[in-house]
Amino acid sequence: MYFHLVNLNEESMKHSKTIELEFNRDNLITLLEQGAGIRDQIFSHKQIADWCEVFWLQYSDVDAIDSIEKLMPVLADVETQWDLYLASTFTLEDLHTLDFERVALLQEWFKDWLGQLYT
């Protein structure tokens, strides 16, 4: 099941800085390593999830090269798990005032996603 958060007021929609990295496997690995705590974290988990979503959307309706196609399940899962985590962890009232930049997914999830890229 996929949850999408809607009807959040403008004030609660804190816009994070967009990650300005090229969409490729190496940058995905770097971001997942940050999320897993393997590298110093420069970007929030929200920024990482947003970057994965935009990457996925860029290739979701086209026949991408094989190396990109292999990344698609991980990209989709990162973004989906972000949405599911928010929906299952916080009340709607909390989501109206929550600073999404401070929300952290489990580091173990990022390690699992990294493992999927190396198999």
> Quick one: average pLDDT of 49-65?
95
**Of 13-27, 35-49, 53-67, 79-93, the least confident:** 13-27
Choice between 10 and 66, residue whose per-residue pLDDT is larger: 66
* Helix pair angle (25-36, 107-117), 10° resolution: 150
* Whether the predicted pLDDT of 4 surpasses 50: no
pTM for the structure as a whole: 0.86
Residue 119: predicted pLDDT: 84
Of the pLDDT bands very low, low, confident and very high (cuts 50, 70, 90), residue 114 is very high
- Per-residue pLDDT tens digits for 19-51: 999 999 999 999 999 999 999 999 999 999 999
Nearest-10 crossing angle of helices 25-36, 72-89 = 30
Amino acid at 93: E
